């Protein structure tokens, strides 16, 4: 059961079963002193009243007690090692498995979830699962198992007293079962509230400079405070429900002790049982509820962990993009054949068909939101098309594994992603086995060497989180250097010169010219003057292919491209006039 719920490995599942069995042995062993006490009391009473002594000498009981201590010690030691070491190993394995799963997920899924949600699953939910495995799972299983075994064994001694002992257990189980559905629903709502608060805090920290300059700091903080205050009643309700259910179950079970006293006294007076049997059941009744009570407490923790376990399972079970790993491409023409695509139910690409040929530059232009970036991402299979097909060299990319496909792409995103590492390592991401000479050459081609030489430690300078110590243009050039280093046969340039000054833009355009020889290039640029020499220009509007051709052909058609180009030329002549 736990293997399926918490996605345990085979080794982890076996270790958990062993831990539960040893913990059950520990619980049973701790009950045996009560039995020994009853037998010793019987022996002492026999001697006191001059009855015939038992078959076992008194020192035999003390020897059994010492042996029992050894069993308790060994059982606890093995249990501790099994459950905590297993929990630690499963924690590490599950985090790595989740991280690897996220790497293989389609961008369409990643776009639906917040970063804080993934972080919460890997850090918080896995921690809850690991803690549950280390304590709740073994304590619940062993507590329930040892309690049932004890009652079953005692039933052979006297079934009436054993039944009295177990009379209230079904009622306690019903109370816990009823509380589960209520608590689980409350916990789901609380989890969502926690995520909302986490998202708000992350947004607050990321945009704190904007909030300070816009005088919105106070109102934003009040919004966060309202979120936290709205969440508090749900947290309090869950704690109340969990505590109330455990308390009721505990007290209901303890009523069994009263039944044992009433039934046992009646049987003792009637002469149907002797004093030893009565004392034995009385002593056991005091102790047998301890593991069962612990099981009830742990059931509360198990219920709490079910939401985390489901979030982990949902992420691990999400369908991946599949395809062949070993696909040889002889050509790198990208063909969009009647492609339609949408986010959720909203279609943003409508029946688009064109081919970006190898050895040519194909530019995608159009107003913001017309689908330029979406088409580039469809070409790299960040999403799968809803209708139509995208093929490279005549092979449908839906049949190629995403990682195998992306080996053929060098991509420069509009939003540059850098790591809190050295300049050298940030460039090296483009090609992990690159030599230092190759990395320096790529940096030079992208005109990175000019600003790298000014950094305190050159290529070994740590650039901060997402390159926060660099300017927008410098960050963009590092991204271009990665593309140069990878030297893939297909190049996607998404606003590659948007954040670069005119002087460096000219230099980079020259470098790109060297990079793209005999390669397939898809380029997006709002600066239409930078693509006038492209082999093919595809003009999009609201997800439809409106027109395509060379710059000269499109200007002669006097349609959308002509209007956009003319407007940009007019805007270049605009200047800011001084106030008189």
Average pLDDT over residues 439-451: 87
Structure tokens at 353: 């068909």
> Are both 283 and 357 inside the same structural domain?
no
Residue 47: what pLDDT?
62
Of residues 334, 324, 376, 358, the one with CA closest to residue 517: 358
Element at 274 (helix H, strand E): none
Other beta carbons within 10 angstroms of residue 95's beta carbon come to: 16
Domain closes at, from 280, 298, 317: 317
Interval 203-207 mean pLDDT: 72
Q: How many domains does the chain have?
A: 2
In the prediction, which pLDDT does 184 show? 64
365 with 384, same domain?
A: yes
Q: Which position has the token pair 């690409």?
A: 349
pLDDT at position 139 = 77
How does residue 382 score in pLDDT terms, banded at 50, 70 and 90? Answer: confident
**Domain check: are 371 and 236 in the same one?**
no
From CA 366, how far away is CA 560, in angstroms rounded?
8
Q: Give the span between the Cα atoms of 131 and 220, in whole angstroms.
A: 35
3-class secondary-structure state, position 341: strand
d(CA 292, CA 287): 9
Tell whether 244 and 350 lie within a shared domain. no
- CA separation for the pair 378, 380 (Å, rounded): 5
Residue 56 has pLDDT above 70, yes or no: no
Q: Identify whether residues 357 and 305 lie together within a single domain.
A: no
* Maximum average pLDDT range among 195-204, 241-250, 391-400: 391-400
Among 12-16, 457-461, 558-562, name the one with the lowest average pLDDT: 12-16
Q: Is residue 460 part of a domain?
A: no
Most confident of 48-52, 262-266, 390-394: 390-394
Is residue 281 domain-shared with residue 385, that is, in the same domain?
A: no
Residue 144 and residue 239 in one domain: yes
Domain end among 253, 284, 317: 317
> Would the pLDDT of 436 be above 60?
yes
Ordered DSSP codes for 240-254:
HHHHHHHHHHHHHHH
Contact (Cβ atoms closer than 8 angstroms) between residue 494 and residue 417: no
What is the residue whose two structure tokens read 């985390």?
A: 308
What tokens were used for 79?
A: 């249990």
Greater pLDDT, 157 or 122: 122
Domain stop point among 268, 284, 317: 317
Per-residue confidence at 505, pLDDT binned at 50, 70, 90? low
pLDDT score of 466: 74
How many other C-beta atoms are found inside a 10 Å radius of the C-beta of residue 285? 22
Give the mean pLDDT of 190-202: 75
The predicted structure's pLDDT at residue 335: 95
Q: Are residues 20 and 59 in the same domain?
A: yes
Residue 332: the pLDDT is 92
Mean pLDDT, the chain, whole residue set: 80
Q: Which of 9-18, 254-263, 555-564 is predicted most confidently?
A: 555-564
344 and 311 in a single domain? The answer is no
Residue 161 in tokens: 């007293």
**Residue scoring higher pLDDT (510 or 287):** 287
Gap between the Cα atoms of 200 and 222, Å rounded: 11
Query: Which residues, other chains included, contact 234 with Cβ-Cβ below 8 Å and sequence gap of 6+?
Result: 186, 189, 190, 193
Q: Any bridge partners for residue 522, and if so which?
A: 362, 492
Dig out the tokens for 86 from the structure. Answer: 């297993």
Which whole number is the average pLDDT over 476-492?
88
Residue 66 burial by Cβ neighbours in a 10 Å radius (0-12, 13-18, 19+): exposed
User: Residue 428 has what pLDDT?
Assistant: 92
pLDDT at 568: 78
Would you call 346 exposed, middle or buried from its count of C-beta atoms within 10 A (0-12, 13-18, 19+)?
exposed
Mean pLDDT (whole number) for 553-572: 84
Give the pLDDT confidence of 323-364 residue by residue, as tens digits. 888 888 889 999 999 999 987 778 899 999 999 999 899 999
**In this structure, is residue 513 part of a structural domain?**
no
Residue 575 pLDDT > 60, yes or no?
no
Residue the block writes with tokens 């293989």: 104
Residue 580 pLDDT level (bands cut at 50, 70, 90): very low
CATH of residue 341's domain is 3.40.50.300
Any idea which residue has 């499109």 for tokens? 554
Residue 499 lies in a domain: no
Give, as one character, the DSSP assignment of residue 558.
T
Which pLDDT score, from 0 to 100, does residue 579 have?
47
Q: What is the pLDDT of residue 353?
A: 94
* Nearest residue to 94 via CA among 117, 64, 132, 121: 121
d(C-alpha 528, C-alpha 532), whole Å = 7
pLDDT of 572: 63
CA distance 374 to 494: 10
Taking 70 as the threshold, does the pLDDT of residue 55 lie above it? no
Q: Which residues contact 336 (CB under 8 A, 6 or more apart)?
A: 352, 353, 354, 355, 375, 378, 379, 388, 390
Q: What is the pLDDT of residue 159?
A: 82
Start-to-end CA distance of the chain, whole Å, equals 80
Better-scored residue on pLDDT, 543 or 60: 543
Give the domain extent around 352: 327-406+528-580
* Residue 414 domain-assigned (yes or no): no
293 falls within a domain:
yes
Lowest mean pLDDT among 104-113, 409-418, 430-439: 104-113
Is it the case that residue 49 has pLDDT exceeding 60? no
Q: Which of 22-26, 162-166, 552-556 has the lowest mean pLDDT?
A: 22-26
Domain at 186, CATH number: 1.20.1560.10
User: Residue 409's closest CA among 502, 522, 497?
Assistant: 522
Element (H, E) at 536: strand 536-541
**Co-location of 394 and 294 in the same domain:** no
Residue 19 lies in a domain: yes
Q: In the predicted model, what is the mean pLDDT of residues 550-562?
A: 89
Q: What pLDDT, on the 0 to 100 scale, is given for residue 48?
A: 57
Is 375 in the same domain as 280?
no
Indicate if the alpha-carbon torsion angle 132, 136, 138, 140 is positive or negative. Answer: negative
For 274, list phi and psi in degrees, rounded to 5.
-95, 175
| 234 assigned to some structural domain | yes
Q: Report yes or no on 443 lying in a domain.
A: no
pLDDT at 504: 62
List, in order, residues 6 or more apart from 572 with CB less than 8 Å away.
Answer: none
Q: State what percent of residues in the chain have pLDDT above 90.
A: 14
DSSP for 379-435, written as a single string: HTTSS--SEEEEEETTEEGGGB-HHHHHTTEEEE-SS----SSBHHHHHHTT-TT--
- How far, in Å, are 31, 37, 122, 252, 276 from residue 284 at the CA level? 7, 10, 44, 17, 12
Reply yes or no on whether the pLDDT at 226 is more than 50. yes
Q: What is the mean pLDDT of residues 403-418?
A: 84
Same domain, 234 and 308: yes
């Amino acid at each position: 059961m736990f293997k399926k719920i918490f996605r345990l490995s085979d080794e982890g599942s076996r270790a958990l079963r062993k831990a539960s069995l040893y913990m059950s042995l520990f619980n049973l062993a701790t009950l045996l002193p009560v039995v020994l006490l009853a037998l010793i009391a019987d022996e002492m009473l026999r001697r006191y009243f001059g009855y015939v002594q038992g078959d076992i000498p008194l020192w035999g009981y003390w020897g059994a007690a010492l042996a029992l201590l050894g069993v308790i010690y060994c059982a606890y030691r093995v249990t501790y090692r099994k459950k905590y070491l297993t929990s630690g190993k499963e924690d590490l394995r599950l985090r790595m498995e989740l991280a690897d799963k996220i790497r293989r997920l389609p961008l369409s899924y990643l776009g639906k979830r917040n970063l804080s949600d993934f972080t919460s699953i890997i850090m918080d939910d896995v921690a809850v699962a690991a803690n549950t495995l280390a304590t709740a799972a073994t304590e619940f299983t062993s507590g329930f198992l040892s309690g049932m075994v004890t009652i079953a064994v005692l039933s052979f001694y006297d079934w009436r007293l054993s039944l009295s002992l177990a009379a209230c257990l079904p009622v306690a189980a019903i109370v816990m079962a009823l509380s589960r559905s209520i608590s689980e629903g409350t916990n789901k709502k609380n989890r969502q509230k926690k995520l909302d608060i986490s998202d708000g805090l992350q947004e607050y920290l990321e945009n704190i400079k904007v909030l300070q300059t816009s005088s919105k700091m106070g109102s934003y903080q009040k919004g966060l405070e309202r979120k936290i205050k709205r969440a508090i009643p749900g947290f309090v309700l869950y704690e109340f429900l969990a505590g109330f259910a455990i308390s009721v179950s505990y007290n209901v079970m303890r009523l069994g002790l009263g039944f044992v006293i009433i039934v046992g006294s009646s049987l003792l007076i009637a002469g149907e049982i002797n004093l030893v049997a009565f004392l034995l059941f009385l002593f056991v009744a005091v102790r047998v509820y301890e593991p069962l009570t612990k099981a009830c407490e742990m059931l509360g923790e198990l219920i709490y962990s079910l939401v985390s376990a489901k979030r982990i399972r949902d992420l691990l079970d999400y369908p991946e993009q599949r395809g062949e790993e070993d696909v040889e491409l002889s050509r790198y023409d990208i063909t969009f054949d009647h492609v339609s695509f949408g986010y959720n139910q909203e279609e943003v690409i409508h029946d688009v068909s064109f081919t970006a040929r190898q050895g040519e530059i194909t530019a995608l232009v159009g107003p913001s939101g017309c689908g330029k970036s979406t088409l580039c991402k469809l070409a790299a299979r960040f999403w799968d098309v809803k209708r139509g097909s995208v093929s490279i060299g005549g092979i449908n990319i839906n049949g190629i594994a995403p990682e195998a496909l992306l080996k053929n792409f060098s991509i420069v995103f509009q939003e540059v992603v850098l790591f809190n590492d050295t300049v050298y390592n940030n460039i090296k991401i483009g090609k992990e086995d690159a030599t230092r000479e190759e990395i320096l050459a790529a940096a030079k081609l992208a005109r990175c060497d000019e600003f790298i030489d000014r950094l305190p430690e050159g290529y070994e300078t740590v650039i901060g989180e997402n390159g926060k110590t660099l300017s927008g243009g410098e960050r963009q050039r590092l991204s271009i250097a990665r593309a140069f280093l990878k030297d893939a046969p297909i190049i996607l340039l998404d606003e590659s010169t948007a954040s670069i000054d005119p002087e460096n833009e000219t230099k980079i355009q020259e470098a790109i010219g060297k990079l793209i020889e005999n390669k397939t290039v898809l380029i997006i640029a709002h600066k239409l003057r930078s693509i006038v020499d492209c082999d093919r220009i595809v003009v999009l509007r609201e997800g439809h292919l409106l027109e395509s051709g060379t710059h000269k052909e499109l200007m002669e058609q006097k349609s959308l491209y002509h209007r956009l180009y003319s407007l940009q030329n007019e805007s270049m002549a605009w200047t800011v006039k001084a106030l008189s």
